[in-house]
Structure 1
Amino acid sequence: MKIIGFNLTKILVEKEESQKANVSINQNINIKDISKEKISITDEEVIKIQFNLVIEYSDKFAKIEFEGSIIILPEKDELKQFLNSWKDKKIPTEIRVPLFNFIMNKCNVKALYLEDEMSLPYHIPMPRINMDKKKS
């Protein structure tokens, strides 16, 4: 499987005026649709995956939402397997894991920027440098 395209069609940020204490944050990826398509850059059939990634803050304090699509060029044997498993609204694990990681890599960077702009708590921990206390 090769990812040959990524496109966001919706970016939404909503926030209440006052921040709640002890906010919990959940992130969820939902695959909305999978379809076989033809595109102009290749003679082979590709798979278009439409997705939705939502970052929700507890008590409906805030929400960040991304919608988009990914175009993948599957190996010959993957195309049938992929489409057959989607009939049951499932994605094979060997495809789902790298696919979800790709979606998170693309969207999390944008989400961090939006969280900073909207003064929201970050949904993933940022790296920190700690001072080591030297023993005498």
Structure 2
Amino acid sequence: MPVLGINITDVRINKSSTVSPTGQIEVKLTPKIKELRLGEIRLPTGKTNGIEVLFSYNIQYTPAIAEGSIEGLLMYLPPQKENLDEILDQWEKEKRLDPFMFAEVVNFITKEVSPMLMLLAKEMRLPYHIPIPRVEVKSQ
């Protein structure tokens, strides 16, 4: 697994209204890669270089009842170590990632951040960002 760990550095959620709106509420999640830089991590086998990925994960409700963001960084080790400089050079020139790396990083961030968003939504009495399974009784 190329992603070794995640470090959350900032969590903010602001609730705009105390009145619950009626009707449909939409929740928009926006992951964003802010920066890539060379990083180093200590493993049992010694120090190894990797890529530190600085990210933000924004959540926005429509109508505007709340908004928030989670920021942090994670350590990414490319499958081939010789690709390390190539990935960083491409980021410096074009601010773009390989689609496979982007998908892997965003999926990892989403997996780590979703439980935190669920807890924050529960504590602040906001709708969840993913649907919760419900049991329905069917009449025969």
Q: TM-score when scaled to structure 2?
A: 0.86
- Percent identity over the alignment? 27
- In structure 2, the partner of 1:78 is 83
Q: Which moved more, 1:96-105 or 1:78-87?
A: 78-87
**TM-fit CA distance, 1:133:** 4.6
Unmatched 5+ stretches in structure 1: none
Aligned length: 134
The aligned runs of 1:5-84 (5 Å cut-off) are: 5-16=5-16, 17-21=18-22, 22-41=24-43, 42-74=46-78, 75-84=80-89
Give the counterpart letter for 1:76 in structure 2: K
Tell me, in whole angstroms, the C-alpha distance in 1 between the residues paired with 2:139 and 2:97: 49
CA RMSD of aligned residues (A): 1.7
Tell me, in whole angstroms, the C-alpha distance in 2 between the residues paired with 1:79 and 1:29: 22
The aligned runs of 1:85-104 (5 Å cut-off) are: 85-87=90-92, 88-104=94-110
**TM-fit CA distance, 1:129:** 2.5
- Does the aligned pair in 2 maintain the 1:64–1:111 contact within 8 Å? no
Q: Which moved more, 1:34-43 or 1:101-110?
A: 34-43
Give the counterpart letter for 2:67 in structure 1: K
Tell me, in whole angstroms, the C-alpha distance in 1 between the residues paired with 2:139 and 2:81: 57
Q: TM-score when scaled to structure 1?
A: 0.88
SS in 2 for 1:94: helix
**TM-fit CA distance, 1:132:** 4.5
Unmatched 5+ stretches in structure 2: none
- Does the aligned pair in 2 maintain the 1:54–1:64 contact within 8 Å? yes
Tell me, in whole angstroms, the C-alpha distance in 2 between the residues paired with 1:131 and 1:60: 34
Tell me, in whole angstroms, the C-alpha distance in 2 between the residues paired with 1:121 and 1:19: 10
Give the counterpart letter for 2:7 in structure 1: N
